[in-house]
Structure 1
Amino acid sequence: MATALNHPFYPLDLNPIGYAANTMSITALLETFAVTVAGVIALTSAVVKAAKPSISRTDKVLVGWFVFSGCIHFVLEGYFVYNHKIMPRRLDLLGQMWKEYAKADSRYMTMEPFVLCMETITAFAWGPLCYITAWMIVSESTHRHPAQMIVSMGQFYGDILYYATSIMEGIYHGRSYARPETFYYWGYFIFLNAFWIVIPAFCIYQSYSKMVGAFRQASSSSVK
């Protein structure tokens, strides 16, 4: 049985069943993640530029965002959902990345129900829909803004609940899932997840404005 003496997670009484320590350094894991993210964004940008040279800068950035989000949701979070029962002992690349991140949120090591349910919806609903939305932006589909609104609202709502459940656990029960070092809580937990608050909020506003404008224009045309 794992104890506080042989795992790096908080709270100290956590029992990550079958825990095996990572073999890759923090630096190697973060560099691998950063290079992969940069590669996905660069490849997406190149493909979009070749497929649709006239695309606006904003839409080009949003295509990159949705492809990147789709990879995070479907690949990384899908991996967690599939392996959630054995995460503490996983030593492949994605397993070690999750164990590094779990220093900021140990719920990923304990089959915690909310996290599992939230990640399942995120991986298998928002993940594929992110890819579809990216394609809709490039193809100028009339379904683009409804799809963008749905997936962005799902991301925004899920992230708010993700933050809130952890924070309220600390307020009401005095239980923190993050190590005490500032780097883990503010770097991993707050900063990395904040992207799925800020960018979806912009996408929701953009889609709302476009749909309201379209309805307003249709209403004006019908009056004439």
Structure 2
Amino acid sequence: MDPVFEKEIPHFFTPITGYSLLACALQFVVGYIIAQILGKKCSGTDRWVLVWLLYDAIVHITLEGPFVYMSLVGTVATSDSIAAEPWKEYGKADGRWLHSDPTIVALELLTVFLDSLLALVLVYAIIKDKHYRHFIQITLCVCELYGGWMTFCPDWLVGSPNLNTDNWLYLWVYLVFFNGVWVVVPGILLWQSWLSLKLLHNTRQGKKKIQ
């Protein structure tokens, strides 16, 4: 299958590259500040979980939300909105985002509306120490991991014609790092939920033995 775009060698740190990376950093800073305010009574570990969840929700709403809108009314490639510029830059690494591939748009619809909601509900559950915290946490993590798999697996199965892996910036920063974060962190949170549920089970078993 022919690629949907011409692979190119990037000019490093063009204005849009710098603006896009700065936007990502600012989103993280905003998430960190809000987490410190809302999670002041939480443990240090849970405050970092809150940082991630708030960053996750901010990215889904403010970055991927506009992508969904642009894809429903046209494509990123044909949009002249300033919100399209980061996606035009990312589209140099994965051309499907430029042309609003239906599979990508379908996944992003779930990401923007479902994952964002789950992240915000989980923030509330952690702050208020709700019993459903780990149910929501596991659900969100599975959604994130499934979304990552379905983003790349269809393209891998046909020889990755849309992925530009010829340059380290596109491969290691755009594709591996920015997508890998949504694999590593959900994996860590799943492990946290596993340990918490195991501890709860062992505590209940200990109480039964005492009785």
TM-score, normalised to structure 2, is 0.84
Change (3 A) 1:208 1:132: same
Alpha-carbon shift at residue 222 of structure 1 (Å): 4.1
For residues 189 and 146 of structure 1, what CA distance do their matches in structure 2 show? 30
Give the Cα separation in 1 of the matches to 2:187 and 2:163. 26
Q: Distance in 2 between matches of 1:121 and 1:87?
A: 19
CA RMSD of the aligned region, Å? 2.3
Which residue pairs with 2:19 in the alignment? Answer: 29
Relative distance call for 1:122 and 1:27 in structure 2 (3 A) is closer
Matches within 5 A, 1:171-190: 175-178=161-164, 180-190=166-176
Residue 177 (structure 2) pairs with residue 200 (structure 1): no
Task: Tell me the SS of whatever aligns to 2:56.
Answer: helix
What residue number does 1:18 align with?
A: none
CA contact 1:10–1:103 (8 Å) conserved in 2: no
Aligned to 1:217: 203
CA distance in 2 between counterparts of 1:32 and 1:25 reads 10
The residue number in structure 1 matching 2:6 is: 12
Question: Residue 47 in 1 paired to residue 37 in 2?
Answer: yes
Rounded Cα–Cα distance in structure 2 between residues aligned with 1:111 and 1:38? 26
CA distance in 1, matches of 2:137, 2:153: 24
1:60 Cα deviation (Å)? 0.5
Give the 3-state SS of the residue equivalent to 1:135 in structure 2: helix
Aligned match of 2:151 = 162
Equivalent pairs counted in the alignment come to 200
TM-fit CA distance, 1:192: 0.6
Match of 2:119 among 104, 110, 130: 130
The alignment partner of 1:86 has SS state of: coil
Q: What's the CA shift string for 1:167-222, capped at 9, x where partnerless?
A: 33326xxx233263221122101111101100000111111221232233334434
User: How many Å separate the matches in 2 of 1:111 and 1:53?
Assistant: 41
| Structure 2: stretches of 5+ with no match in the other structure | 8-13
In the alignment, is the contact (CA less than 8 A) between 2:67 and 2:76 conserved in 1? Answer: yes
Distance 1:44 1:198 in 2: 22
Q: What TM-score, normalized to structure 1?
A: 0.79
1:92 to partner: Cα distance = 3.0
**Residue 108 (structure 2) aligned to one of 119, 136, 139:** 119
Q: Structure 2 CA distance, aligned partners of 1:38 and 1:73?
A: 12
Match of 1:20 in 2: none
For the 8 Å contact 2:36–2:47, the answer to whether it is kept is: no
Once residues 80 and 58 of structure 1 are traced to their aligned partners in structure 2, the CA distance between those partners, rounded to angstroms, is: 32
Q: Quote the offset at 1:135 in angstroms.
A: 1.7
2:68 to 61, 76, 81: 81
Alpha carbons 1:152, 1:204 under 8 Å: kept: yes
* AA in 1 matched with 2:68: V
Q: Decide whether the 8 Å contact of 2:77 with 2:98 is kept in 1.
A: yes
